[in-house]
Chains A and B, each alone.
Chain A
């Protein structure tokens, strides 16, 4: 015997395709390798044994697992309608064999009305739209043909007639049983009638809403992706077209975009940023992409990244950005040296420079970079003179951890 560890041994998948009602019989048959006809026949037979078949069917429905909302039953043919009829008949039989029967006189009325409601209620939108096409003169149409969904007009007429007939019966036999029981059953009947009449419509509406929500989620995802691609890839492609005569810039743009897209597609699994040199390369690509400058980074030594190093890289980035904004030149040299107990970075440009002794100029830059580094125990110096460019020197000592495997500083 096969024991399904960790799962319900009775569990089976409801069948989504080729289902008649809820796919329970089909799923059960698939799971156990039985012909589905046998399962259905057994259910029908058991239904007459005090409604056991119906009970089993609903137990099966509860136990069974289903993947997602069921698609509409295909094909929507007379088998399904016959099944519904069989289930209803079974239910009635079950009620009659238990104490729930309110007496034949009333229940036959109920069944007649229910049948009429059912005929109307199972009307589907596609049938409603084809009402005009129904052939009026087909008087020989059988009940099966009506139940099969054809001749919608006949169904409406038959259903309406049955309901009217039922109501007349109710009116004519009002005093048949004690008033209380009649009241209870009348209420139940009304509710049941409304439920049967509106049930399919509610089910359809709920299904449509679920479908709509799925569509909306999909649409949102699409929009998010479109927005991202627009902000990144399309922008880059536009930039590349505009700078087609500058191969270096084109390459830079392409490389940056590739890195970014990779990151976006595959999450943060980018191992390049796991080391100082990798993080620096990434920073350089980013700044080169944002500003029209060329940065030639040189790295000596390497270490795995940590929080403090990240602060130094961030300060280096700020120095690069400042050079890009204020130096007036397009070339910036970046040199980072990782030694056994310190990491030093130098950002140099040959731009206009400023008087680093003057209290106003460059003070903000220095303070922001200095403050950033001071928090992690580093220091910053800015050397500049008008006309002679600027060099930002950053240094951060650290307590030596086991020496990291050095990586090629310049390999890309």
Chain B
């Protein structure tokens, strides 16, 4: 079973998640603060760390950055009620492989955990919306089109995910294999993480994030 480390500053929420996904994955540790989390993750080396976006003293972003500095192969899934694009994108750019909202049900969460463990990216509809918003439109021609822009296919995939389609449904809709859809999503994630130029900057400036 996939081993999981839970980070959330609400003990009640951790207990709830642990109870819910306990049947699907093996929760081997949990923490409520950034320091505890970093120490715990590095000690138990879980397959996947489910990390809350909002935590005192730096949030999920700080945990991901500090753990990755010591252990580059760590895998993170961001889990949040936060609707603010800047927080979510910051965690993704720090290295999280996916973002799901706390309204997700247990089975879907377990599935998302397995997915990021398998190397895939997990996009909730909301994250897909953020991505489309960030990469869409009106920005002037980027310096490195290859990296900075989403391909037409990637945009289609993102759009369907934003509409609430599962990967399987996206694949059926676009007559692709699920594997191809996963490849597209991973590519989008990489672009989101690596693209520190034009659009994201402009997008962030638009929202007074920088």
Looking at chain B, what size class is its interface with the partner chain? Answer: 20 to 34
Contacting residue for B206 out of A248, A348, A405, CB 8 A = A405
Q: A32 contacts the other chain (Cβ, under 8 Å)?
A: no
Query: Would you give the 0/1 interface string for A337-351, flagging 1 where the beta carbon is closer than 8 Å to chain B?
Result: 101100000101000
State whether A296 touches B125 (Cβ < 8 A): yes
State whether B85 touches A298 (Cβ < 8 A): no
- State the CA gap A408–B87 with chains docked (Å): 12
Q: A256 contacts the other chain (Cβ, under 8 Å)?
A: no
Give chain A nearest CB distance to B135 CB in angstroms: 10
Q: B137 contacts the other chain (Cβ, under 8 Å)?
A: yes
Q: A126 contacts the other chain (Cβ, under 8 Å)?
A: no
Looking at chain A, what size class is its interface with the partner chain? Answer: 20 to 34
Query: Would you give the 0/1 interface string for A399-412, flagging 1 where the beta carbon is closer than 8 Å to chain B?
Result: 00001011011111
- State the CA gap A348–B128 with chains docked (Å): 16
State whether A408 touches B101 (Cβ < 8 A): no
Query: Would you give the 0/1 interface string for B164-192, flagging 1 where the beta carbon is closer than 8 Å to chain A?
Result: 11000000000000000000000000000
**Inside 8 A of B164's CB, which chain A residues have their CB?**
296, 333, 335, 346, 348
B→A interface (CB under 8 Å): 83-85, 101, 103, 125-126, 128-130, 132-133, 136-138, 159, 162-165, 206-207
A→B interface (CB under 8 Å): 248, 294, 296, 298-301, 333, 335, 337, 339-340, 346, 348, 391, 403, 405-406, 408-412
Q: Which 6 residue pairs of A and B lie closest in terms of their CB atoms, listed nearest first?
A: A333-B164, A298-B129, A335-B163, A410-B83, A346-B163, A300-B132
**Can you list 27 pairs linking A and B with CB atoms under 8 Å apart?**
A296-B101, A296-B125, A296-B164, A298-B162, A299-B129, A300-B129, A300-B136, A300-B162, A301-B133, A301-B136, A335-B125, A335-B129, A335-B159, A335-B163, A337-B132, A337-B159, A340-B138, A348-B165, A405-B206, A406-B133, A408-B84, A409-B85, A410-B83, A411-B83, A411-B84, A411-B85, A412-B83
Q: Beyond A298-B129, A300-B162: 7 further Cβ-contacts under 8 Å?
A: A298-B125, A333-B163, A335-B159, A405-B206, A410-B84, A410-B85, A411-B84
